[in-house]
Structure 1
Amino acid sequence: MINLHDHYDGLIFDMDGTLADTMPTHFTAWSTSMAAHGIVFPEERFYALGGVPAAVIVELLAKEQGKSVDAVAVAEAKEELFLDLLKDVQPVLPVKAIAEFHRELIPMAIATGSPHWVADKILQALGIADWFGAIVGADDVENPKPAPDTYLRAAELIGVDPKRCHAFEDTDLGVQAARNAGMTVIDINTLL
């Protein structure tokens, strides 16, 4: 196990696709919700937009496809369907092991593109909610990923200088957000 607490003062984890293997479950919820409104959301595009808030994705795709929808309502319906499927979500084991090893050694936080309340439910379902000193969701900041705000707020809440934080991410937008916050980033795809 890499012992990061000798070199960093805080660890900040993205959640979806990084700490929790939620992406297949999110894609199922997205596909069903969007199809109900005649909007196509290809899987490749879904992964490319990882970390972007749901309502922003709905607005973007609806505009591109000439559809008029209530983006917030569609996003909420997607999140509700996702929660119904939550029992299927598993942790990303190598990342969970890193968090588990460090949880009592240095402050840790979650910086996610999901709404805060959804992040709470996922972390509770995985039995790891109490490992983290802070959770920052897309709805907790003015500018979500790829802006650095989510990561900067997470570092602030655990009382650690962002430059002394190590961030764990699985998407290009998330990596960009953490780097823009001044953090050293581990792309978890290199661990798997």
Structure 2
Amino acid sequence: MTASELAEKSKPAFKALAPLEAVLFDVDGTLCDSDPIHHIAFREMLQEIGFNNGVPIDEDFFVKNISGKHNDDIAAVLFPDDIERGLKLCVDKEAYFRKLVKEKVEPIKGLYKLTKWIEDNGLKRAAVTNAPRPNAELMISTIGLTDFFHHLIIGDECEHPKPAPDPYLKAVELLNVSKDHTFICEDSVSGIKAGVAAGMPVVGLTTRNPESMLMTANPTLLIENYEDPKLWAVLEGLGKKTGDA
């Protein structure tokens, strides 16, 4: 199935959300294009310790083994025989990542168009991420959305992080909304699986992960960015007028 065919198929799922109550967002790769910064940080730190015989990790390795994953899982992939070493590297990498964020991070194209639509329609919103809280707060602050979100839910602060549904279920609970009237924006297989498991429609963004990979997680819709006409086609009718009706 192509992204266009999926978009046509997704319309009833979005129509069923009316009246829309809330929108939930992942952070990395969904609010901002931060994956390249994570890649730089991992590449440099792994090369420094001689990982992969000193050969820098490439984009394919990063997408397959690191992007969208929780640090516990990353540590297990990188150092299966020494998980503690992997976890220590991930902690150090997060500190290095935060140094890079302020000069390099950019919002996803069309993000502010969507956030304005959400505000104009009086919808509740939360950011839901596996990123450490300091990272998430820094990224949200850097792109100017600290006051936009009503809640920030961190995977590590839930019983289970993504791809388990717990973080998204906690978000609807804190926002006091129905998951039957909420949709999710995500960019990774792990995140999409979490949203699907939580029982909500998921808009998948092909920010860095290929369309074919995201399709394996069963998103309701796939878009390139927030200016994609496919997104606005399904949002049409979910604004104030439909809610009032």
TM over 0.5: yes
Q: TM-score per shorter chain, which class?
A: 0.7 to 0.9
User: What does 1:57-68 align with in structure 2 at a 5 Å threshold?
Assistant: 57-63=74-80, 66=81
Alignment equivalent of 1:85, drawn from 89, 92, 100: 100
Partner of 1:156: 173
* Alpha-carbon contact 1:166-1:185 (below 8 Å) kept: yes
How far did residue 127 of structure 1 move?
1.1
For 2:191 and 2:105, how far apart are their aligned partners in 1?
Answer: 20
1:119 aligned partner: 136
2:195 maps to 178
Which of 120, 127, 135 is 1:110 aligned to? 127
Gap regions ≥5 residues in structure 2 = 1-14, 207-222, 226-245
Contact preservation (8 Å) 1:19, 1:96: no
Match for residue 45 of structure 1 among 61, 85, 97: 61
CA contact (8 A) 2:78 2:86 kept: no
CA distance in 1, matches of 2:181, 2:161: 21
Residues 34 and 67 (structure 1 numbering): CA distance in 2 closer, same or farther, change over 3 Å?
Answer: farther
Alignment deviations for residues 102-134 of structure 1 (CA, whole Å, 9 cap, x no partner): 135111000112012210111111111110011
Instruction: Output the aligned Cα RMSD.
Output: 2.2
Query: Structure 1 unaligned runs (5+)?
Result: none
Shift of 1:146: 0.9
- Tell me whether 1:191 sits opposite 2:224 in the alignment: yes
Distance of aligned partners of 1:159 and 1:77 in 2 relative to their CA distance in 1, 3 Å threshold: same
CA distance 1:163–1:81, shift in 2 (3 Å): same
2:34 is the counterpart of 1:22: yes
DSSP 3-state at the match of 1:8: coil
In structure 2, C-alpha distance between the alignment counterparts of 1:95 and 1:148, rounded to whole Å: 24
Give percent identity, aligned residues only: 28
TM-score between both structures, scaled by the size of structure 1:
0.87
User: 1:34–1:142: structure 2 CA closer, same or farther, 3 Å change rule?
Assistant: farther
Instruction: String of CA shifts for 1:26-47, please: whole Å, max 9, x gaps.
Output: 1101112222333344422322
Structure showing greater Rg: 2
Paired residues of 1:10 and 1:160 also in contact (CA < 8 A): yes
Establish whether residue 34 from structure 1 lines up as the match of residue 46 from structure 2. Answer: yes
